[in-house]
Amino acid sequence: MKADLEERTFSRVGHHKVSKQLSGDLARADSLAREIFSDIANKWALLIVETIGDTTKRFTELKTEVDGISHKMLTQNLRLLERNGLVSRVVHPTVPPRVDYTLTEPGQALRATVDAMCAWTTRYLGEIEEARSRFGRSIDR
Protein backbone atom coordinates (compact mmCIF):
# COMPACT_ATOMS: atom_id res chain seq x y z
CA MET A 1 0.00 0.00 0.00
CA LYS A 2 1.41 3.39 -0.97
CA ALA A 3 1.56 6.11 1.65
CA ASP A 4 -0.15 9.44 1.09
CA LEU A 5 2.47 11.72 -0.42
CA GLU A 6 0.44 14.91 -0.54
CA GLU A 7 2.65 17.92 0.04
CA ARG A 8 1.73 20.71 2.44
CA THR A 9 3.52 23.77 3.77
CA PHE A 10 4.10 24.11 7.50
CA SER A 11 5.77 26.75 9.61
CA ARG A 12 7.39 26.38 12.98
CA VAL A 13 7.88 29.17 15.47
CA GLY A 14 11.07 30.96 14.49
CA HIS A 15 11.53 28.86 11.33
CA HIS A 16 10.89 29.48 7.66
CA LYS A 17 8.00 27.75 5.95
CA VAL A 18 8.95 24.36 4.61
CA SER A 19 7.15 21.74 2.56
CA LYS A 20 6.62 18.35 4.18
CA GLN A 21 5.55 15.13 2.55
CA LEU A 22 2.43 13.87 4.32
CA SER A 23 3.67 10.34 4.62
CA GLY A 24 3.95 7.92 7.50
CA ASP A 25 7.40 6.82 6.32
CA LEU A 26 9.87 7.55 9.13
CA ALA A 27 12.76 6.76 6.77
CA ARG A 28 11.98 9.81 4.60
CA ALA A 29 13.83 12.92 5.78
CA ASP A 30 10.97 15.14 4.56
CA SER A 31 8.23 13.06 6.16
CA LEU A 32 5.78 14.69 8.56
CA ALA A 33 5.81 11.42 10.51
CA ARG A 34 9.55 11.80 11.09
CA GLU A 35 9.07 15.36 12.32
CA ILE A 36 6.36 14.23 14.75
CA PHE A 37 8.51 11.31 15.89
CA SER A 38 11.41 13.68 16.50
CA ASP A 39 9.19 15.96 18.57
CA ILE A 40 7.87 13.25 20.88
CA ALA A 41 10.60 10.59 20.98
CA ASN A 42 12.86 12.23 23.53
CA LYS A 43 13.31 11.44 27.19
CA TRP A 44 11.66 14.61 28.46
CA ALA A 45 8.52 14.37 26.32
CA LEU A 46 8.00 10.74 27.29
CA LEU A 47 8.55 11.48 30.99
CA ILE A 48 6.09 14.39 30.82
CA VAL A 49 3.46 12.17 29.17
CA GLU A 50 3.98 9.51 31.85
CA THR A 51 3.87 12.10 34.66
CA ILE A 52 0.64 13.74 33.49
CA GLY A 53 -1.01 10.34 33.08
CA ASP A 54 -4.75 10.37 33.79
CA THR A 55 -4.57 13.60 35.76
CA THR A 56 -4.35 17.32 35.16
CA LYS A 57 -1.06 18.87 36.23
CA ARG A 58 0.12 22.42 36.71
CA PHE A 59 3.48 23.55 35.35
CA THR A 60 5.01 23.70 38.83
CA GLU A 61 3.82 20.17 39.62
CA LEU A 62 5.42 18.86 36.44
CA LYS A 63 8.65 20.75 37.21
CA THR A 64 8.76 19.09 40.65
CA GLU A 65 7.75 15.60 39.53
CA VAL A 66 9.96 15.31 36.43
CA ASP A 67 13.27 15.11 38.27
CA GLY A 68 16.13 16.98 36.63
CA ILE A 69 14.18 18.88 33.96
CA SER A 70 14.95 22.57 33.59
CA HIS A 71 12.28 25.24 33.28
CA LYS A 72 13.33 25.81 29.66
CA MET A 73 13.19 22.11 28.69
CA LEU A 74 9.80 21.64 30.35
CA THR A 75 8.43 24.67 28.50
CA GLN A 76 9.84 23.53 25.15
CA ASN A 77 8.54 19.98 25.50
CA LEU A 78 5.09 21.04 26.68
CA ARG A 79 4.86 23.30 23.62
CA LEU A 80 5.88 20.44 21.31
CA LEU A 81 3.36 18.11 22.93
CA GLU A 82 0.64 20.76 22.64
CA ARG A 83 1.61 21.54 19.01
CA ASN A 84 1.25 17.86 18.13
CA GLY A 85 -2.14 17.58 19.84
CA LEU A 86 -0.97 15.34 22.68
CA VAL A 87 -1.45 17.80 25.54
CA SER A 88 -4.26 20.23 26.21
CA ARG A 89 -3.24 23.51 27.84
CA VAL A 90 -5.80 25.57 29.76
CA VAL A 91 -4.91 29.01 31.12
CA HIS A 92 -7.09 30.18 34.02
CA PRO A 93 -7.49 33.97 34.37
CA THR A 94 -6.19 34.23 37.92
CA VAL A 95 -3.37 36.15 39.54
CA PRO A 96 -0.89 34.61 39.28
CA PRO A 97 -2.05 32.80 36.11
CA ARG A 98 -2.76 29.10 36.54
CA VAL A 99 -2.01 26.78 33.62
CA ASP A 100 -3.25 23.19 33.58
CA TYR A 101 -1.99 20.41 31.31
CA THR A 102 -3.98 17.27 30.46
CA LEU A 103 -3.32 14.51 27.95
CA THR A 104 -5.66 14.48 24.94
CA GLU A 105 -6.98 11.24 23.45
CA PRO A 106 -3.89 10.85 21.21
CA GLY A 107 -1.75 11.70 24.26
CA GLN A 108 -3.42 8.92 26.24
CA ALA A 109 -2.75 6.51 23.36
CA LEU A 110 0.92 7.53 23.42
CA ARG A 111 0.92 7.02 27.17
CA ALA A 112 -0.06 3.37 26.65
CA THR A 113 3.09 3.01 24.54
CA VAL A 114 5.18 4.78 27.19
CA ASP A 115 3.73 2.45 29.85
CA ALA A 116 4.78 -0.54 27.73
CA MET A 117 8.29 0.93 27.42
CA CYS A 118 8.46 1.37 31.19
CA ALA A 119 7.38 -2.25 31.71
CA TRP A 120 9.98 -3.41 29.17
CA THR A 121 12.69 -1.41 30.97
CA THR A 122 11.74 -2.89 34.34
CA ARG A 123 11.60 -6.42 32.94
CA TYR A 124 15.01 -6.27 31.23
CA LEU A 125 16.88 -3.93 33.57
CA GLY A 126 19.07 -6.70 35.01
CA GLU A 127 20.00 -8.04 31.57
CA ILE A 128 20.78 -4.56 30.30
CA GLU A 129 22.99 -3.86 33.32
CA GLU A 130 24.86 -7.14 32.68
CA ALA A 131 25.30 -6.29 28.98
CA ARG A 132 26.64 -2.85 29.86
CA SER A 133 29.06 -4.37 32.33
CA ARG A 134 30.31 -6.91 29.75
CA PHE A 135 30.64 -4.17 27.17
CA GLY A 136 32.59 -1.96 29.57
CA ARG A 137 34.97 -4.81 30.39
CA SER A 138 35.53 -5.56 26.69
CA ILE A 139 36.35 -1.91 25.97
CA ASP A 140 38.78 -1.71 28.91
CA ARG A 141 40.91 -4.58 27.60
How large a percentage of the chain has pLDDT more than 90? 67
Q: Bridge-partner residues for 99, per DSSP?
A: 91
The bridge status of strand 87-92 relative to strand 98-103 is antiparallel
pTM of the model: 0.76
Please give the residue that has the higher pLDDT: either 140 or 10: 140
Q: For the chain, which residues make up each domain, given as ranges?
A: 1-40, 42-140
Closest CA to 32 of 57, 62, 63, 10: 10
pLDDT-derived band of residue 15, with 50, 70 and 90 as boundaries?
Answer: very low
Q: 42-140 — its CATH code?
A: 1.10.10.10
Q: Is the pLDDT of residue 66 over 80?
A: yes
Distance linking the first and last C-alpha atoms of the chain: 50
CA distances from 61 to 51, 52, 67, 101, 116 (A): 9, 9, 11, 10, 24
Q: Is the pLDDT of residue 86 over 60?
A: yes
Q: What are phi and psi of 21, to 5 degrees?
A: -75, 130
Most confidently modeled range among 4-8, 93-97, 103-107: 103-107
CA dihedral 103, 104, 105, 108 (to 10 degrees): -10
